[in-house]
Amino acid sequence: MRKRIRLLTGDRPTGSLHVGHYAGSIKNRLELQNSGKYDCFVFIADMQALTDNAFNPRKVRDSVKELMLDYLAVGLDPKKCTLFVQSGIPELAEICMYYMNLVTVARLQRNPTVKDEIKQHNFEKSVPAGFLVYPVSQAADITAFDAEIVPVGEDQMPVIEQTREIVHAFNRIYGDVLVMPRGVMPENILARRVPGIDGQAKMGKSIGNCIYLKDDADTVRKKIMSMYTDPNHIRVEDPGDTKNNVVFKYLEIFGRDQKKVAEMKAHYQRGGLGDVVVKKYLIEEMEAFLAPIRARRQEYEKDMDKVYKIFEEGTKRARKIAKQTLKRIRKAVGVEYFKGEEE
């Protein structure tokens, strides 16, 4: 039988999942998972979350539980997909150690995503070393599972590029050991970087401008009603801008009827369509998408023991694979000295 292609991706437990995650990465994960063609691994990157939350471990710990529920609620299926927690696999940290020697500090500092995030966190003068090297630890996560496909949003593409450079360097120096991965983004360009409800370029947990998958209907309604539209669209009859208008961007990402969205867009542009009407339509569309996820989440919440068990089993399964990869890596680097080194 032909070996199935490995898919791996993850999220940082720095809050619960938002609609940006859904559009940017989860939708692709679900489609690929359900196609049956891929051997899927999805994980909670708690060690990575600690790189910029070392002083707030409680937030990370609480968010791990949130993410577990979110994963199951969106339809990641433990029968089709190995769900695991990063810290349960210490082999990843050792793999990261070997890779750190193949990357310069200057290269990490030049990474556009890392650069943006350093600014966002005010880390300019005091970036934690762990945070600066998170792209290296991410390379360990991806390669430990021989992943070929990594579904991500646009902001993560430079980080995947870093993994690819490490794979190149490692294979050149130590032999053909690692599998080359590639990032996969959504087809809809707008979904690759869903903007925040405040109009900022990216919805992000650490920025706090999100609609969360677990938000109740009333919260979603309030968030949408407060959303950024066109500040120059003062009277209903005024022509409005749909290009920088977050409400329209969301409709283009989450709307089920794109023909209707296109008609509304044209109407808004020529004038005569009020923001409240557009927002009410977006509320309807969001509800249709979020209500079933919310309901499944509530079901799983009733049995947290079962939820933890799913991740415990997934982590065990994943660890076996990471151990094999580490063995391959140690052998290639030449750091095996003793017979019977393996337990």
What are the φ and ψ backbone dihedral angles of 330, each rounded to 5 degrees? -60, -45
Residue numbers 230-259 binding ligand ATP by CB under 6 A:
none
In angstroms, give the least distance from the CB of 74 to ligand ATP. 12
Per rule CB under 6 A, count of chain residues that contact ligand ATP: 20
Q: How far is the CB of 341 from ligand ATP (least distance, A)?
A: 36
* Inter-residue contact 54 to 130 (CB < 8 Å): yes
Q: How far apart are CA 314 and CA 306, in angstroms?
A: 12
CA distances to 10, 31, 91, 185, 290 from 36, rounded to whole Å, are: 19, 9, 28, 19, 25
Between CA 179 and CA 262 the distance in angstroms is: 43
Shortest Å distance, C-beta 319 to ligand ATP: 22
Residue 337, SS3?
coil
How far apart are alpha carbons 34 and 304 in whole angstroms?
25
Taking CB under 6 A as the criterion, which residues in 6-65 touch ligand ATP?
11-12, 14, 20-21, 23-25
Per-residue x/- marks for ligand ATP, 178-217, CB under 6 A? Answer: --------------xxx-------xxxxx-----------
Q: For residues 96 and 114, which CB has a smaller minimum distance to ligand ATP in the complex? A: 114
Smallest gap, in angstroms, from Cβ of residue 70 to ligand ATP? 11
Backbone torsions φ then ψ of 38, nearest 5 degrees: -120, 150
Which C-beta is closer to ligand ATP: that of 48 or that of 325? 48
206 phi/psi in degrees, rounded to 5: -75, -10
Give the shortest CB-145-to-ligand ATP separation in angstroms.
Answer: 16
152 lines the binding site for ligand ATP (CB under 6 A):
yes
- Which single residue brings its beta carbon nearest to ligand ATP? 24
Closest approach, Cβ 66 to ligand ATP, in A, equals 12
Residue of 39, 70, 155, 285 interacting with ligand ATP (CB under 6 A): 155
CA atoms within 13 A on the CB side of 294: 17
Q: 149 vs 152, which CB is nearer to ligand ATP?
A: 152
Of the candidates 117, 115, 148, 153, the residue with the CA atom closest to the CA atom of residue 41: 148
Binding interface with ligand ATP (CB under 6 A): 11-12, 14, 20-21, 23-25, 152-153, 155-156, 192-194, 202-206
